[in-house]
């Protein structure tokens, strides 16, 4: 008669508790980590008032409907970016400050800043609302 001898257990320690712990760690990291691609825009927290000798910054107004005004003149973003770039390189202005109107939320304001930065305008910052000044 052939009697099957049970094979010796290979693992001295059971794998099940290990798997439990690994699963718990996996679920923890899945829930606690974020895979968001974060970006940052540098914003100056304010500017000292320009002294008579200094080059002034250009002030761009952002209206609630998304319109952009430079010196009271409404213009498209591409035109505005081109003018700002030309003035910045000629040294006529030192920086460009975006002043959103009171109802404008951060989303459109940041989108405008981003689009201007993408069009090559440097020294951008966010300024006090038009009506507040």
Binding site for another protein (CB under 8 A): 4, 6-7, 10-11, 14-15, 18-19, 22-23, 25-26, 29-30, 32-46, 62, 100, 102-111, 113-115, 117-118, 126-129, 132
Task: For another protein, give the closer residue by CB, 86 or 120.
Answer: 120
Task: For another protein, give the closer residue by CB, 28 or 92.
Answer: 28
DSSP-assigned states of every residue in 82-101: HHHHHHHHHTS-S-EEEEE-
Shortest Cβ 113–another protein spacing (Å): 8
d(CA 43, CA 28): 35
Shortest Cβ 75–another protein spacing (Å): 20
Shortest Cβ 39–another protein spacing (Å): 4
Shortest Cβ 26–another protein spacing (Å): 5
Residue 58 exposure: Cα atoms within 13 Å on the Cβ side = 26
Element (H or E) spanning 125, and its range?
A: strand 124-126
**Chain center to CA of 124:** 13
Shortest Cβ 100–another protein spacing (Å): 4
Task: For another protein, give the closer residue by CB, 40 or 90.
Answer: 40
Task: For another protein, give the closer residue by CB, 75 or 130.
Answer: 130
d(CA 121, CA 61): 16
d(CA 75, CA 64): 14
């Amino acid at each position: 008669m052939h009697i099957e001898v049970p094979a010796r257990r290979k693992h001295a320690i059971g794998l099940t508790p290990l798997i439990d712990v690994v699963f718990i760690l996996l679920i923890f990291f899945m829930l606690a980590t974020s895979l968001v691609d974060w970006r940052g825009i540098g914003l100056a927290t304010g500017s000292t008032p320009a002294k008579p000798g200094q080059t002034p910054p250009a002030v761009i107004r952002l209206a609630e409907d998304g319109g952009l005004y430079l010196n009271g003149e409404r213009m498209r973003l591409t035109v505005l970016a081109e003018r700002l770039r030309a003035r910045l390189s000629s040294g006529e202005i030192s920086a460009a400050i975006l002043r959103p109107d009171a109802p404008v939320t951060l989303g459109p304001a940041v989108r405008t800043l981003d689009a201007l930065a993408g069009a090559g305008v440097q020294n951008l910052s966010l300024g006090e609302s038009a009506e507040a000044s």
